[in-house]
Amino acid sequence: MAVSSGTSSILSFSMALTSFAAMQLFKQQLSGSEYMTIVGGLLGSTIFFFVLVGVGNLENSMFGSNFQTKLFPEVLFCLVVAMFASGLVHRVCVTTCFLFSLVALYYINKISLNKHAAPVSATPVKATQGKKKK
């Protein structure tokens, strides 16, 4: 069942806050071994995902459904928030959060293009020639 953009924004921000709280709750375990720091970066990338979805839905509810999330202000802000949250756990979590977030951003962009891009026509368009000079 689909919810409105405003409700989805609230749900996304609450999930990001829950992920942040879980990272802080298990801070000792996440910084305890090499593999757990990678898991900490993965949790940081989920914070990136939830904050990005929350910001995008908040903008859609405020500015209309045709508003698009841009790279410079919105995506970089969400990436900095997620990397800061990961940095509170361990330094390696920041690096893995950055890498996992870039992979997530690639797939989010790919899904968005498949859903919202204009369909490409199957018949090729013939180029028209102008008048030839004699």
Q: What is the pLDDT along the chain (134 residues), one digit of tens a residue?
A: 688 888 999 999 999 999 999 999 999 999 999 999 999 999 999 999 999 999 999 999 888 878 888 888 889 999 999 999 999 999 999 999 999 999 999 999 999 889 877 776 666 656 666 666 66
Q: Which pLDDT score, from 0 to 100, does residue 5 have?
A: 87
The reported pTM is: 0.83
Q: Which pLDDT score, from 0 to 100, does residue 133 have?
A: 64
Query: Nearest to residue 74, comparing CAs of 58, 55, 93?
Result: 55
Count the helix, strand and coil residues of the chain and give each as a percent rounded to the nearest 5: 75, 0, 25
| Residue 68: both structure tokens together | 């698009």
Q: How far, in Å, CA of 71 to CA of 75, rounded?
A: 5
How far is the CA of 128 from the CAs of 81, 122, 132, in angstroms?
Answer: 51, 19, 12
Are 88 and 23 in contact, with CB atoms under 8 Å apart? Answer: yes
